[in-house]
Amino acid sequence: MNCLAWTWTSRVISNFTRSSNSVLKRSFSCIGVNCAALHHSFQTNSKKARVASMASNEDTSWWGYSSANGPSRWSERFPLCQGDRQSPIDIRQSKYDPLLRRRPLKFNYTGSPTSVSNNGRTFSVNYANAVDNDSCITGGPLGDEKYFLHHFHMHWGTAEADGSEHAVNGRLYKAELHVVHVREKHNMVLSKALEDPRGLAVIGAFYDVGDEHNSQFKPLERLLEKVVYRGQSANLSDVSLNPLTLLPDIEKSHYWTYSGSLTTPPCCECISFVIFAEPVLFHKDQLASLSKLSSGPHGQDYPAIACNCRPVQSLNGRDVYCSTRLKEFVN
């Protein structure tokens, strides 16, 4: 990946189980919202790993994307980051699943965002009223279950460096949008969702630079002006921003799906990913607008947020499924 120079030593850890005394805090920044991270300890005489205790605030703020605290070092404090079902991945092989065509994804995004925030690693546009508004997705790999809209965030690079997390046949893009949803049974409680292998559904969309400004992206640009510095947040009212406007044409775009993890600590393996194949285009100035966000608080000299992306992880035998049998997508 162009964004980071890193070294990764792979160690497969399987059959994770939760110990009876595990503690999980109910709000998480690892996927774009403020949180206390998790700390894990492992039995030395067993292949099973156990979640042991909640991490300190020091651990919460420790991880990032630099050489000192970046992805190659996350597993020092978050052992799940060495699991065998990690994300992102390089999508090189996929299998056509006819059920994905007979059972299309359905988007029912209603209501408006309730807040926006900057946690120093990315922004988060949050939808706290999604359950009340029945704002959810169903279908496709999710079956008949509802997954309620929680928030969306992005990962991005620079004019010189790619910033997507997933890759397609080795190709990275300039940015990647993640729209995060919580399984209905968990009632929007993220701590429960992180313990469930199907607890979250994430819709991913690649962004690449084109010649024209993307008019659908401009409302987000204006929104981010409210949270330039780390720790800033703003409650929203009378703001209309439907995540569908930031996705490719869902009627025409094919997608891949697979089981994976949070792409940030604590790297819980709890996500059904849906990655659209068709990238969204925006102008280079709109890419640059994302890096107007600062990784530090107001009044202090911190670098801009950029290249906030984890390198691709080993597939470890997982299957990737595709919604089309076109030869350019299935191999």
CA pair distance 88, 94, nearest whole angstrom: 15
Residue 319, φ and ψ in degrees, nearest 5: -90, 140
pLDDT tens-place string over residues 254-284 = 999 999 999 999 999 999 999 999 999 999 9
% of the chain with per-residue pLDDT over 90: 76
Distance of CA 72 to the CA centre of its chain: 18
Q: Residue 99 above 70 pLDDT?
A: yes
**Length in residues, the chain:** 331
Please, what is the average pLDDT of the chain? 85
- Mean pLDDT value across residues 128-139: 97
Query: What is residue 128's predicted lDDT score, i.e. its pLDDT?
Result: 96
Q: How confident is the model at residue 331 (pLDDT cuts 50, 70, 90)?
A: low
pTM value is 0.84
Q: List CB contacts of 50: < 8 A, sequence separation 6 or more.
A: 16, 17, 18, 19, 22, 40, 41, 42, 43
pLDDT classification of 330: cutoffs 50, 70, 90: low
DSSP assignment of 282-304 equals E-HHHHHHHTTSBSS-TTS--PB
Is the per-residue pLDDT at 87 higher than 90?
Answer: yes
CB 54 within 8 A of CB 25: yes
Rg (alpha carbons) of the chain, rounded to whole number: 19
Across 122-147, average pLDDT: 97
Structure tokens at 172: 């990275």
What pLDDT does residue 62 have? 86
Mean pLDDT score, 167-174:
98
- Domain ranges within the chain, ordered by starting residue: 82-322
pLDDT at 34 over 60: no
On the question of pLDDT at 238 being above 60, the answer is: yes
- Parallel, antiparallel or unpaired: strands 136-138 and 147-156: antiparallel
Which fold is adopted by the domain 82-322?
A: Carbonic Anhydrase II (3.10.200)
Provide CB contacts within 8 A for 186, sequence distance 6+. 192, 193, 196, 199
**What pLDDT, on a 0 to 100 scale, did the predictor assign at position 55?**
36
